[in-house]
Structure 1
Amino acid sequence: MKKILFVASECVPFIKTGGLADVVGALPGALDKSRFDVRVVLPDYACIPAPLRDSLQYAGSFQMNLGSLGEQYVGIMQTVRDGVTYYLIDNQHYFSGPTPYGDLRWDIEKFCYFCKAALSILPSVGFRPDVIHCHDWQASMVPVFLHEMFLDNPFYRGIRTVVTIHNLKFQGVWDIPTFQKITGLPERVFTPGRMEFHKDANMLKGGLVYADRITTVSPTYAEEIKMPYYGEKLDGLLRSKSGDLWGILNGIDYGIYNPETDQKLYATYSKDNFRSGKAQNKRRLQQELGLPQDPDAMMIGMITRLTDQKGLDLLAYVIERLLLSRVQLAVIGTGDAKYESMLRHFEWTRKDKVSASIMFDDTRAHRLYAASDAILMPSLFEPCGLTQLIALRYGSLPIVRETGGLKDTVRPYNRYEGTGTGFSFRDYNADDMLSTIYFGEMVFYDDRRAWDAMVRRGMETDFSWNTSARRYEELYDQLS
């Protein structure tokens, strides 16, 4: 049996700020348990909910040297959920904050400690992985520490590493002297071919250089990040390692996201009765949000961070024109103050058209997937995106920009061939986005048979972890 260790800064159900947690929470359980012993290492944050913290058991502790910062306490807490063993690194100095992330300088020190501790606990817990799978910049120092500090110990020889890029924009960059102080790594590590990055040091770059394989969360994003526009100044490195770069599409947990069994919905439904089921959910959600109860109005949802990356600048440019048409716009999310204020303004002045939930409410999000006719995702870039996968599962057609995972998962409607599962536009342009929405409205109002056929195709498409997990198993087999 092959042994796989996941190292990540967040994981459902313990702690979640984004899609990374969903992936780390779902993928271990989707792998073939008869062939893979998968375990997960996480920080033991004080902000983990109390019922989950109460399930943790003490599994040991020791002192670990952290560069010139000296000896640091490493506690090991352990629990088993659904056949997967979780190790949580306990250190109140680093993990006692009210949120998992905060000041970047502090986060860099915290996650350098975490990466070295994740390697250091392995002899204590008696688990020697064949492959360590590291997620995003917070875990990317694991391959660096492994090759530079641990290989003298026979226990660690032959361990292979994978680094998954969930979002290349975030890399963990700070000055070299600070990294030298924190890590105690030799000077050769901070050279241009390794961690040096425009005279600073870059944690993600270090992980990519030392890793045996690199993955990212969709095939299109794997190609995009080799180009300067998307490459965040690492495109040259990624081109040089293109033979080791895999694009594997994320999945979603079909146990959680299932309109036939979802108890958060007002009414459950399937692909065979979605019209009546979605109509009931729309009417009740319109009532909840204070929108006019118009079952025939096209409801467009957005469940997103309110940032430029997610295309909110495009929405701001066309929202007044959009609201001239017969649509209702329901938004759930938080983000930049200017976009929060814009949406609150339109909710106040156009309550007949706009609902703005400036928060994240998981129950309301599930209800919006079920009630909405379309989900808008005009992202500047989108490594994978889970929102469009959930929308398809619930029979809400995605309207997306053709980038990253959105391009891989949403097939644009072709009226002549009768194909497609949504609508898309190529250029990052507000007028192109608005034209695409108008096209979607035309199909919704004038050709409902074609619209319903798209809904059914979307609900029948399999974006569970089954296919993606097989690809990861192939990767682990190749490495070990």
Structure 2
Amino acid sequence: MKKILFVASEGVPFIKTGGLADVVGSLPKCIDKEYFDVRVMIPKYSCITEEMKQKMTFKTYFHMDFNWKNEYVGIMEAKEDGVTYYFIDNESMFSGFKPYSDNVLEEVTKFSFFSKAALSALALIDFRPDVIHCHDWQTGLVPVYLRERFQGSEFFRGIKSIMTIHNLKFQGKWDVKTVKSITGLPDYFFTPDKLEAYKDANLLKGGIVYADAITTVSDTYAEEIKTPFYGEGMDGLLRAREKDLRGIVNGIDYDDFNPETDKYIEHNYNAVNFRKEKIKNKRALQAELGLEQDDKKMLIGIVSRLTDQKGFDLINYMMEEMCQDAVQIVILGTGEEQYENMFRHFDWKYNNKVSANIFYSEALSHKFYSACDAFLMPSLFEPCGLSQLMALRYGTVPIVRETGGLKDTVEPYNEYESQGTGFSFSNYNAHEMLTAIRYAEHIYYDKKREWNKIIDRGMAADFSWHVSAKKYQEMYDWLIG
């Protein structure tokens, strides 16, 4: 039995702020239990719900030297869906109403503590992983500490590490002197070929330098991050390590996202009966959001963080034009004020066509996936993206920019060969985006049978975790040897 430990800053169902939590919560369930014992370690945030805290039992505790102090480290344990979770407990580190704060120094301190505590806890919980699978900058110091402090002891010798980059934009940077003091790492580690980058200490860089393997969440993104435009200053290092870098596209949980059983939607449907049943969800959503009740109007959905990364400057540029078309546009999400206000403005101006829902609701997001005809994601960069996978699953046709995971998961429609699962455009350009949207409108209105065949192919595609899990298993086998 090969043992794998996921170390991450969040994981469903305990704590979630984004797609990372979905990966950490869903992937371990899908890895073959016959050959792999996969467990997960995350911080015990005080903002975890009471209901979830009730599932935890106290395992043990110890004290650890960290940042010139002797810090308490508690270990809690819970079982969920057949997976064992461990929680690192320290009130002063993990208090607050949210898992993350805007104070970078606080974040760097807390996740340096978490990385060291995660390794220190292993001997006490009597679990010696063959591979420690680290996720994003918050766990970047795990491979570093593993090499620097723990490799000397018999227990840790030969443990391999993987660094998965979910979004290269976030790296955990602070000045070298402070990070050296917090982490207790010697000078040797703070050179340009190790943790130092552009005069700062960089936790993600440490993880990339010291991990035995590096993955990211789609094939295209793995290629893109080796270029200056997408590389966020790390492209040189990633080119140097390209033999150890691979892309494995994320999946979604096909039990949670299933139009046939989804408890959030008014009318359940499947790939066989969507032609009759899906429209009922559209009517229900139009009614709920106060839009004009019209079966035939093409309904375009957006569920997203409203940030530059997601391509909202393109939408901002073209929104007035789009509102001239025979479409309805529904938006769900929060983010940068300029985009929140832009959508509020168009909701006010075109009230029967545009509905801006500037908040987040899990239930409403499911209703969007089940009710909309098309789903718009014009991202500037998108390591993987999960929304387009959910859209495909619900028979909602994605319109995307060809970047990262969007390029890998949405096959552009080809009317001559009757192939494809969505519509796409390649350059980051507002006019190209509008052309793709209008091409989709043309197929929707003038070639309904073709449109339904696009839905057939999208709903038949398999982006469940089981496909990705096999690729992770291959990588674990290759590393363990």
- TM over 0.5, yes or no? yes
Separation in 2, partners of 1:21, 1:462? 21
> What residue is the counterpart of 1:119 in the other structure?
119
Structure 1 residue aligned with 2:313: 313
Q: How does 1:173-192 map to 2 (within 5 A)?
A: 173-192=173-192
Deviation at 1:476, TM superposition (A): 0.3
Q: CA deviation at 1:273?
A: 0.9
**CA shift at 1:381, angstroms?**
0.2
Letter in 2 for 1:394: Y
Query: What letter is aligned with 1:175?
Result: D
CA distance in 2, matches of 1:451, 1:136: 38
1:267-322 deviations in Å (ceiling 9; x for gaps): 00011111222110000001111111111100000000001100000000000000
Question: By how many angstroms is 1:96 displaced?
Answer: 0.9
Find the aligned partners of 1:151 and 1:414 in 2 and give their Cα distance: 54
Amino acid at match of 1:9: S
CA separation in 2, counterparts of 1:343 and 1:252? 28
Aligned-partner Cα distance in 2 for 1:325–1:28: 45
1:218 alignment partner in structure 2? 218
**C-alpha contact 1:422 1:454 (8 A) present in aligned 2:** yes
TM (norm. structure 2) is 0.99
Partner of 1:82: 81
Aligned to 1:337: 337
Alignment of 1:18-417 (within 5 A): 18-68=18-68, 70-102=69-101, 103-417=103-417
* Superposed displacement of residue 67, structure 1: 3.6
Cα distance in structure 2, aligned partners of 1:353 and 1:275: 23
- In 1, the alpha carbon distance for the partners of 2:120 and 2:276 equals 56
More displaced stretch, 332-341 vs 149-158: 149-158
Distance 2:78 2:272 in 1: 41
C-alpha distance in structure 2 between counterparts of 1:59 and 1:238, whole Å: 39
- 1:87 and 1:111 map into 2 onto residues whose CA distance is 16
* SS of structure 2 residue aligned to 1:329: strand
The whole-number CA distance in structure 1 between the counterparts of 2:49 and 2:274 is: 35
TM-score normalised by L of structure 1: 0.99
Q: Is the 8 A contact 1:67 1:185 kept in 2?
A: no
Aligned to 1:132, the other structure's residue is in SS state strand
Q: Which amino acid aligns with 2:113?
A: Y
**Displacement of 1:82 after TM fit?**
1.6
Shift of 1:81: 1.1
Q: For residue 468 of structure 1, what is the amino acid of its counterpart?
A: S
Letter in 1 for 2:335: G
Task: Report the 3-state secondary structure (helix = DSSP H, G, I; strand = E; otherwise coil) of the residue aligned with 2:155.
Answer: helix
Residue type of the alignment partner of 1:363: A
Q: What amino acid is the match of 1:178? A: T
Amino acid paired to 1:91:
N
Whichever residue aligns with residue 220 of structure 2, its letter is: T
Paired amino acid for 2:76: M
Equivalent residue for 2:469? 469
Deviation at 1:49, TM superposition (A): 1.0
Give the match's secondary structure for 1:272: coil
The one-letter code sitting in structure 2 at the alignment partner of 1:289 is L
Query: Residue by residue, what CA displacement relative to the aligned partner does 1:170-206 show, whole Å, maximum 9, x if unpaired?
Result: 0000000110111000001000110001011000000
Aligned-CA RMSD value: 0.6
Give the match's secondary structure for 2:45: coil
User: Would you say the 8 A contact 1:380–1:403 is kept in 2?
Assistant: yes
Look up the SS of the partner of 1:164 in the other structure: strand
Task: Write the distance in 2 (CA, Å) between the matches of 1:261 and 1:392.
Answer: 16
Query: Structure 2 counterpart of 1:85, which letter?
Result: T
Shift of 1:385: 0.3
User: Partner amino acid for 2:45?
Assistant: Y
5+ residue gaps, structure 2, are none
Task: Tell me how far 1:410 sits from its aligned partner.
Answer: 0.4
Distance (whole Å) between structure 2 residues aligned to residue 311 and residue 163 of structure 1: 27
Q: Distance in 2 between matches of 1:150 and 1:65?
A: 14
Q: What is the SS of the residue equivalent to 2:399?
A: strand
Q: Distance in 2 between matches of 1:241 and 1:364?
A: 42
| Residue of structure 2 equivalent to 1:453 | 453
Q: Distance in 1 between matches of 2:38 and 2:420?
A: 37
Work out the CA distance in 1 between the residues paired with 2:310 and 2:399: 13
Distance 1:435 1:38 in 2: 46
Deviation at 1:408, TM superposition (A): 0.3
Cα distance in 2 for residues equivalent to 1:171 and 1:359 = 27
Contact between 1:67 and 1:180, CA under 8 Å: does it hold in 2? no
Q: Which whole-Å CA distance do the structure 2 matches of 1:81 and 1:284 have between them?
A: 34
- Whole-angstrom CA distance in 1 between matches of 2:429 and 2:330: 22
**Which stretch has the larger CA shift, 235-244 or 144-153?**
144-153
SS in 2 for 1:470: helix
Q: Quote the offset at 1:416 in angstroms.
A: 0.5
* CA–CA distance in structure 1, aligned partners of residues 61 and 155 of structure 2: 19
State the shift of 1:154 in Å. 1.1
Q: Give the AA of the match of 2:74.
A: G
Give ranges in structure 1 of 5+ residues lacking alignment: none
- The letter of the residue matching 1:293 is Q
Query: What one-letter code is carried by the residue in structure 2 that aligns with 1:131?
Result: V
User: What SS does the corresponding residue of 1:121 show, helix, strand or coil?
Assistant: helix
Matched AA of 1:126:
D
Question: Which contiguous aligned blocks of 4+ residues in structure 1 show a shift greater than 2 angstroms?
Answer: none
For the residues of structure 2 that align with 1:381 and 1:454, how far apart are their CA atoms? 25
Matched residue type, 2:370: A
Give the 5 Å matches for 1:402-441.
402-441=402-441
**C-alpha separation between the residues in 1 aligned to 2:465 and 2:40?**
18
User: Residue type of the partner of 1:155?
Assistant: F
Task: Report if the CA contact (8 A) 1:74-1:117 is conserved.
Answer: yes
Q: Shift of the alpha carbon at 1:55? A: 1.0
Cα distance between partner residues in 2 of 1:382 and 1:296: 31
Question: Quick one: which amino acid aligns to residue 16 of structure 1?
Answer: K
